[in-house]
Amino acid sequence: MLLLSRMFRVAAVYNICWGIVVVLFPNLLFDLFRIPHINYPFVMSGLGMCIGLYGYGYWVVAGDLRRYPQLVVIGFLGKTLGPIGWYGTVITTGLPLRTMWTNVFNDFIWLPFFIAYFVWYRRQGALSTIAR
């Protein structure tokens, strides 16, 4: 349980930092991946704000792992559906594969911890049923 709580704290800090950077520097990822900027950088700033809000949710979850599984489900869906959408964009628009690194650091490395949370949470429910 302590490991999961720490993981959500680390994920919170990571997401908040990533969000702040993207809000302040909306073209940074385009520059890093050497792809053209989008016409409306505020779209990336909005994405950064959303990612930062995920961080807040993870911080809340870390404080009470049993109380907020819905927030974990939302995060898990973002970490699974985001890469699927990225893959579709690569296929349909020719977005370079090198942009995959955003999925590696923002999604894939966190998935094992989310799965571990779901396993832990399910076991907690089974234990509480047995205790009744």
Average confidence (pLDDT) over 38-54: 95
| Tokens linked to 1 | 């349980």
Alpha helices, DSSP H, located in the chain: 2-24, 28-32, 42-63, 69-93, 100-103, 111-131
The residue ranking higher by pLDDT, 76 or 94, is 76
- In this prediction, residue 1 has a pLDDT band, given cuts at 50, 70 and 90, of confident
Q: Where are the domains of the chain?
A: 2-131
Is 17 a residue whose pLDDT tops 70? Answer: yes
pTM reported for the whole predicted model: 0.88
